[in-house]
Amino acid sequence: MDPASLPVTRLKGVGPRLAEKLARLGLATVQDVLFHLPLRYQDRTRLTPLGALRPGMETLVAGTIELADVAYRGRRSLVVRIADGTGHLHLRFFHFTAAQRDGLVRGRRLRCYGEVRFGPAGLEMAHPEYSLLREDEAPLPEQHLTPVYPATAGVGQTLLRRMVNDALEHYLRRVEEWLPESLLAELALPALQDALALVHRPPPGEDTDALLTGRHPAQQRLAFEELLAYYLSLKRVRERVRAERAPRIPASTRLVTKLLAGLSFQLTKAQQRVLGEIVHDLHEPHPMQRLVQGDVGSGKTVVAACAAAAAVEAGFQVAVMAPTELLAEQHGRNFAGWLAPLGIDVAALSGRIANSARAAALDAIASGRAAVVIGTHALFQEEVRFGHLGLVVVDEQHRFGVGQRLALRAKGERDGERPHQLIMSATPIPRTLAQSLYADLDVSVIDELPPGRQPVDTVAVPATRRAEVVARVRAACAAGRQAYWVCPLIEESEALDLETAVRTAETLKEALSEITIALVHGRVKPREKERVMTAFARGEIQLLVATTVIEVGVDVPNASLMIIENAERLGLSQLHQLRGRVGRGSAQSACVLLYQPPLSELARARLAALRETSDGFEIARRDLEMRGPGELLGTRQTGEAAFHIADIVRDRALLPRVQRAAERLLADHPDAVAAVIRRWMGGREEYGAV
Ligand code: ADP
Ligand code: MG
């Protein structure tokens, strides 16, 4: 029988009680166990000489005990010092038995495995796994890498390794191969069964470095299939959406024309093209699922406002969802500025408005009087009901996952019709990556900035030259311009960061007494935040000291100077977003990256990249090279694209091939499609895996 239909209880030693615990790891069937892949490996095939140890290393060492002692400083602990002729290391045990203590005596040889860290007396390992060696015993215990599996309470590594062994021994040969042989040959990838056997039990002599970095062909084979499953599942979501009905919204003849006529600028060619694509989608009888990518400042908001005007003209409501209160408020101001003169009623639904005002707002939304409703995800709470929702605009999409996208559409359902969805992404990513990660969406790109924008002059300045930077702020404000001073969230503790921001604001107030300075951060009350931002937007505040709350979307064209503290600690895309807050007006703008010397290699590369280019797509490309996509795409929190073995950055060269393989499977092997999705996406319903 297919291991996909055998319950885990078929494995040796697995009863109903254990099965319950395994369910928490998503392990229901024997196939799930076979596809429970190692997170990483421990390398017990090589010894590190004690003299070569560095903090943070996790490694195998061996040595002779020089000293063993019970220390009472702080907590009682057994401390053992070992040496091997190249250096020494302390082993520290907080819990130990008398027998353990008696075994660890001067002169005995032992090997141990653990993580190296700084201790009170130099490098140490706390609670290493260890074993005493006989006189003539060689210290190398393993000939192959040791897999480390995702584990949970009551389901540890030993148990998992035993289960996997049993599954491999008895059921591996029954795992079905869904990829056509010709495809595997073309891609030079091994067969599935061989790949599974190898990643669980890497035989001695395999390329250890490749395995440790996930580049071994066996891992690539599995990553390929996982990416394929993800891609196919999104394609299926897309097909499902295509089969749904949506209200047809004709191209606006009146309101959009009026909106455009009232603007002080003309849409760029790119904006017009993307608006055209949206208008076309809105007129289809199926829900639009369109992602608009555009660099910071490319003018995504006004495009969304035009789409909103078209929907309203056709008699539908529009919901605009922003990721933060701050942005919701700004959109509220912008949309009202554009739409109110056309006679369109724009309402705000903040998560924190007073109850009476809230009841009135809810009523206006339910009756359809509020034509455009702007808010945070509070918009999609249970008690919010729309009269006739035709379009949902989601700004700064990267914080929402597939599941949330689907839930949003279901929310606005009426008479079997679901609203159109327009998703605006603040973080541009390369097209091939977008097409793979968001395969359930159509992608539009605004690849042009409004004319007259001068690139932001970017400089990196060491914190030792802070006084010059303060003088620069003074000069800019004296010339009638405004500035941001960003104190990013960098420490673990939010409280500490707020303190830094508060202290910076105070110091600046003293140094720049002639300038109006205000502070915003995450803990400032929403009402106060709005007051400050409005005052800043009106030019009544000249210098805004802020944490990264202003990172995305904030738009004040008169602000032309951006100071970023501790720039060396921020990621490239984040710095680019922050820098994008300036250079929005016609004045020459500047961004000062204040850093704490000395710079690490990576930080130096980041700051250099930022100085060299202002193209968001290029920045994203370099960011991908330098670090993981989780941070870039903001998916760590939402769990979107959380892969077992694939790594979208490391494996991105596979993506075009994944797409081609998917087309082939859909056309020639439809039975394989469902099986591959089920195998990898398990019960993740939102991906269509049921
Ligand atoms: P983003 O794409 O980063 O969300 P915004 O929508 O906030 O950018 O637009 C940035 C600024 O550019 C806003 O002040 C907006 O009014 C302005 N803008 C948008 N389109 C144009 C255009 N075609 N010409 C000039 N200015 C524009
Ligand atoms: Mg924006």
Question: Using 50, 70 and 90 to split pLDDT, how confident is the model at 412?
Answer: confident
pLDDT value, residue 358:
85
All domains in the chain, ordered by first residue = 3-41+149-206 (no CATH), 46-141 (2.40.50.140), 254-446 (3.40.50.300), 457-613 (3.40.50.300)
pLDDT at 118 over 50: yes
Query: How many CB atoms are closer than 10 A to CB 512?
Result: 18
Q: In the sheet that 543-546 helps form, which strands lie side by side, from edge to edge? A: 457-462, 590-595, 559-564, 482-486, 543-546, 517-520
Given a cut of 60, whether residue 186 has pLDDT beyond it is: yes
Cis peptide before 598 (omega within 30 of 0): yes
Ligand 1 neighbours, Cβ below 6 Å, are: 265-268, 271, 294, 296-302, 450, 553, 555, 557, 584
Distance in angstroms (rounded) separating the CA atoms of residues 227 and 681: 10
Which atom, in ligand 1's list, is nearest to the CA of 302? 6
pLDDT classification of 43: cutoffs 50, 70, 90? confident
User: Cβ distance 512 to 467 under 8 Å?
Assistant: no
Q: What is the mean pLDDT of residues 398-414?
A: 73
Query: Which of 93, 57, 211, 60 is closest to 145 using CA atoms?
Result: 211
Q: What is the mean pLDDT of residues 153-177?
A: 93
Under the banding of pLDDT at 50, 70 and 90, the label for residue 63 is very high
Which residue owns the Cα nearest ligand 1 atom 23? 267
**% of the chain with per-residue pLDDT over 90:** 51
Cβ–Cβ under 8 Å, residues 132 and 105: no
Task: Pick the closest to residue 202 from 145, 141, 149, 148 (CA basis).
Answer: 145
- To the nearest whole number, what is the mean pLDDT of the chain? 87
Q: What is the mean pLDDT of residues 437-442?
A: 88
* CA–centroid distance, residue 208 to ligand 1 (Å): 51
| Among the bound ligands, the one closest to the CA of 552 | 2
What is the rounded distance in angstroms from the CA atom of residue 454 to the CA atom of residue 452? 6
Q: How many Cα atoms occupy the beta-carbon half-sphere of 244 within 13 Å? A: 24
Model confidence pLDDT, tens digit, residues 576-596: 888 988 988 778 999 999 998
Distances (CA, A) of 100 to 67, 69, 70, 92, 565: 14, 12, 12, 12, 51
* Distance (Å, whole) CA 177 – CA 221: 12
Pick from 101, 59, 105: which is nearest to 82 by CA?
105
Where residue 75 falls among pLDDT bands split at 50, 70, 90? confident
Q: Write down the number of H helices and E strands in the chain.
A: 25, 21
Burial pattern 307-332, b for ≥16 Cβ within 10 A else e, equals: bbbbbbbbebbbbbbbbbbbbbbbbb
Q: Report the nearest-CA residue for atom 15 of ligand 1.
A: 299
Mean pLDDT of 418-428: 88
- Tell me the best of 259, 291, 293, 301 to mutate to test the pocket of ligand 1, counting ligand atoms within 8 Å of each CB and taking the most: 301
Q: Give the residue, 485 or 411, on which the prediction is more confident.
A: 485
Q: What is the pLDDT of residue 25?
A: 86
**Residue 263 clears pLDDT 60, i.e. is over it:** yes
Is residue 685 left, alpha or beta, with left meaning phi > 0 and alpha meaning psi from -120 to 50? alpha
Residues 6 or more apart whose CB falls under 8 angstroms from that of 398 comprise: 425, 426, 427, 633, 634, 635
E runs forming strands in 24-57: 40-42
Burial profile 476-507: b = 16 or more Cβ within 10 angstroms, e = fewer: bbeeebbbbbbbbbeeeeeeebbebbeebbee
Closest CA to 643 of 159, 228, 218: 228
> How many CB atoms are located within 10 Å of the residue 94 CB?
11
Q: Return the residue whose CA atom lies nearest to atom 5 of ligand 1.
A: 299
Examine the pLDDT at 683 and tell me if it is beyond 60.
Answer: no
- 603-626 tens-digit pLDDT: 888 899 999 988 888 888 888 777
236-256 per-position pLDDT tens digit:
888 888 899 999 999 988 999
Question: For atom 19 of ligand 1, which residue has the closest CA?
Answer: 299
Taking 70 as the threshold, does the pLDDT of residue 370 lie above it? yes
Ligand nearest to the CA of 267: 1
Residue 183 CA to ligand 1 center (angstroms) comes to 46
pLDDT at 629 over 80: no
Residue 584: the pLDDT is 81
Pocket test for ligand 1, best of 274, 445, 456, 555 (most atoms within 8 A of CB): 555
Task: Check residue 637 and give its pLDDT.
Answer: 34
